[in-house]
Amino acid sequence: MKRDLLGVGDLTPAESADVFALARAMKHEPKGARLNALAGRSIAIVLEKASTRTRVSFEVGAAQLGAHPVVIPMQGSQLMRGEPVRDTARVLASYSDMIIYRTSERTRLEEMATAKVPVVNALSDDGHPVQVLCDIFTIEEALAVPIRQVRVSFVGDCASNMARSWVEAAGVFGFALKLAAPEGYMPPASALALGKGNVTLTHDPSEAGVDVDVVNTDVWASMGQEDEATERFSALTGFTVNEAMLRKSPSAIVLHCLPAHRGEEIDEETLEGPRSRVWSQAENRLHVQKALMLWLLTR
């Protein structure tokens, strides 16, 4: 039976560990080492929102595995002219072996998942699971301990897709997650329930960096929220990740999925400083997603 990855919980921790082991192996191989792995396969990458990292890491990753990636960008596809997602899913599945999909509402994602081939969520309003799986890989690589032993905080817009996938990950992997955000910027109760009691909330930014090993943040206005940027900036002021916030956790590392808005959710010194793992985090998108594509198509 085909497997989809619509949320972090679609893989068990043991399955994620298998994907991470494959990613660790591939990271140290020459780029052309697995050119026959998915030879003859095609991977459709459907993007209804902008993307740099997700698009390029999946596209290059597919090519490095010998598969043919087909990018269907937001402009120019019939989806953007109103063709039903379900019809698109049916047709794309008859041409390709996997669909990678970046969209907005969960319902669109679920419609795409009616396809007969595996569907991977490449960001939606309610999550960015491949990013968070890659981030967990990066944390285990940086700290050399299993994620269940790591104390993570997410600071800023905790209602964002990134924060929601972190909440789901806390429930699946069983690690402690602290969310630090102003009132009105926390996930809805239904999303928090996925954290299975492993999530604590604070509205006090001075608590965000206390007793944690990893501090995550993301933009204050996600794609589609540009019109709310001024209001969001004023509500989230004080939640910038910076050295003052982190001084009680001298060894904490910092992650940001990128793109970053320096001076808003994170300052330049922290993004470029010794705590930052942001650039290896971005590189690991390639290794982990290559492993994920291979695992989904050959398990």
Q: Which residues bind ligand CP (CB under 6 A)?
A: 51-54, 123, 131, 257-258
Q: Can the peptide bond before residue 259 be classed as cis, meaning omega within 30 degrees of 0? A: yes
Specify the stretch interacting with ligand NVA by CB under 6 A; choose among 25-33, 157-165, 178-186, 284-292. 157-165
> What's the half-sphere exposure (Cβ side, CA atoms, 13 Å) at 162?
25
Q: Which does 289 bind (CB under 5 to 8 A by kind): ligand NVA, ligand CP, none?
A: none
Active site residue 257: yes
For residues 296 and 113, give the distance between their C-alpha atoms in angstroms, rounded to a whole number: 14
Strands (E), the chain: 42-47, 68-72, 98-102, 119-121, 151-155, 176-180, 199-202, 214-217, 253-256
Q: Which does 162 bind (CB under 5 to 8 A by kind): ligand CP, ligand NVA, none?
A: ligand NVA
For residues 162 and 145, give the distance between their C-alpha atoms in angstroms, rounded to a whole number: 22
Shortest distance, position 104 Cβ to ligand CP, whole Å: 14
- Can you tell me which of 38, 120, 199, 219 binds ligand NVA, judged by CB under 6 A? 219
Task: Rank residues 19 and 123 by Cβ distance to ligand NVA and give the closer one.
Answer: 123
Q: Does 218 bind ligand NVA (CB under 6 A)?
A: yes
- The residue number with the shortest CB distance to ligand NVA is 222
Sign of the alpha-carbon dihedral angle for 234, 238, 241, 243: positive
Active site residue 41: no
- Can you tell me which of 88, 121, 222, 240 binds ligand NVA, judged by CB under 6 A? 222
Specify the stretch interacting with ligand NVA by CB under 6 A; choose among 29-37, 55-63, 107-115, 214-222. 214-222
For residues 292 and 97, give the distance between their C-alpha atoms in angstroms, rounded to a whole number: 14
Per-residue x/- marks for ligand NVA, 248-267, CB under 6 A?
Answer: ---------x----------
- In contact, 101 and 121? CB cutoff 8 Å: yes
Closest CA to 208 of 234, 239, 229, 233: 239
Per-residue x/- marks for ligand NVA, 97-136, CB under 6 A?
Answer: --------------------------x----x--------
199 backbone φψ class: left, alpha, beta (φ>0; ψ -120 to 50):
beta
Please pick, among 128, 256, 275, 277, the residue that the annotation labels catalytic: 128
Active site residue 285: yes
Please pick, among 41, 55, 102, 256, the residue that the annotation labels catalytic: 102
The residues carrying an active-site annotation are 102, 128, 131, 218, 257, 285
